[in-house]
Structure 1
């Protein structure tokens, strides 16, 4: 299973480790360029990331690959799905295509301003996102955006240690990787979701308060994917990748 982690984190933050052996699964997490141990590539694109992953899959002779994309990892996962690399995919609390016309008027003002800034001048927007970027500042923003359900997960000592380690790793080369990811996720996506022919499970928590995941908890995204299955867990927050890892994995492996 290919794992595309969320914003400003690295391969160190996985999920469901205690379930993998019993499921006969291996989780492969990839640092995107400029994050963690991956070299920067300032002009990279979503489809370019999919091409990189295709090389990885070929070099490692991987077959039957499924994918999981969390939060800002979702558009990178869907780019891989559209390119035909994956057999099935799960998007968990995934960032939707916020620049899609269907969301005009439904974004909160701060998110709408971010999307418009990327549309008007992606280079300047990237510089602005980089100015936000360090591990401690990002951690504080995560906690500020989190609802009660998510804050309980994020502040659990063992999880907080793992999350903060992943943040420190992601920002080790500076904020450029995070900034480029945010530009790519906030712009129009350069692939057609109609080309995603594999089954895609969309998982959202009804108590997710993040303004940058999906205004409608994946309903619009589900309608644009030919073989989508949408799951909304009412009491869960955006951290359902960790609170509901078992059904997410079971469903994905059964596809």
Structure 2
């Protein structure tokens, strides 16, 4: 199975304490070690990873739609902190009494780290992650277009959110991904064994319109309302040397790894931003090791 991508084995929704629902998709043994997956920008729950390795590793992978995306109800007032509360409810609603680790890919990174800072997860793996782009040490490294978005998010977040809600869509996201990625990543994203699943997930992400994505973008591009320096659960950062870092970490996680106590940075020189699908087993094995060490 090329890239470890296949149809979800189980689908469902968990009702949160305020009555909203969060949609999820699952792969792997139902009694396996729970690993939550927070997908990239505007990507719905149906695109998982590592399907070839889940049974061998004993992993139950649960991909979660953020509010307003896919099968999850909207929450126009949400923040990164309320997302951690939602995930706490999700963990309880799924009966994950021993807790769960998390993988945050690309735009899912701040959402994963928010859960790590809140102690909602046992360990976190950030793969090709978006960084806290407002941090002073990154100011001179940002792509001009991204710097403009960061500035707009700080000066007029409501205006930026309204503009993205009006203009964004699945086709726009597909163009951005294929235009801003390294050629090796474009080859993967456009491969007939991967592209249909990815494009379907983007359509899912915009099924309710673009408001959910727009909120995600503003939350991610503003200063994060938690200190990554306060994270006490184990964190591993994965970056590909060929990833241009335009919409991910512009310095391949160097500053972020220094800021997160005890974090482990893995920069793979021959990989691009799509390493979640080319090095799935490595990511999962590393996360399981971290999660087990936290429980000892």
TM-score normalised by the chain length of structure 2 = 0.84
User: Which residue, 209, 225, 242 being the options, matches 2:277?
Assistant: 242
Q: Can you list the C-alpha shifts for 1:133-189, whole angstroms capped at 9, x where unaligned?
A: 111121111111111110111011121000001000110110101110000010000
| Match status 1:40 vs 2:74 | yes
Superposition pairs of residues 91-170 of structure 1, within 5 angstroms = 91-170=126-205
More strand by share: 2
Q: Secondary structure at the match of 2:163?
A: helix
Q: Distance in 1 between matches of 2:224 and 2:258?
A: 16
CA drift at 1:76:
0.2
CA drift at 1:131:
3.4
Q: Distance in 1 between matches of 2:222 and 2:278?
A: 30
Contact 1:145–1:210 under 8 Å retained in 2: no
More contact order relative to length (CA 8 Å, sep ≥ 6): 1
User: Which residue, 118, 123, 129 being the options, matches 1:83?
Assistant: 118
Contact 2:104–2:111 under 8 Å retained in 1: yes
Q: Corresponding residue for 1:193?
A: 228
RMSD value, Cα: 1.0
User: Which residue, 207, 216, 219 being the options, matches 2:242?
Assistant: 207
Contact 2:245–2:252 under 8 Å retained in 1: no
Q: Can you list the C-alpha shifts for 1:194-233, whole angstroms capped at 9, x where unaligned?
A: 2211111100000012411011000000011012000001
Q: Distance in 2 between matches of 1:127 and 1:148?
A: 32
Superposition pairs of residues 53-64 of structure 1, within 5 angstroms = 53-62=87-96, 63-64=98-99
User: Which residue, 30, 47, 60 being the options, matches 1:13?
Assistant: 47
TM-score normalised by the chain length of structure 1 = 0.98
CA drift at 1:64:
3.8
| Match status 1:232 vs 2:281 | no
Aligned residues: 255
CA drift at 1:55:
0.8
Q: Distance in 2 between matches of 1:133 and 1:242?
A: 25
Structure 2: stretches of 5+ with no match in the other structure: 1-34, 291-296
Q: Distance in 1 between matches of 2:99 and 2:161?
A: 36
Stretches of 4+ aligned residues off by more than 6 angstroms: none
Structure 1: stretches of 5+ with no match in the other structure: none
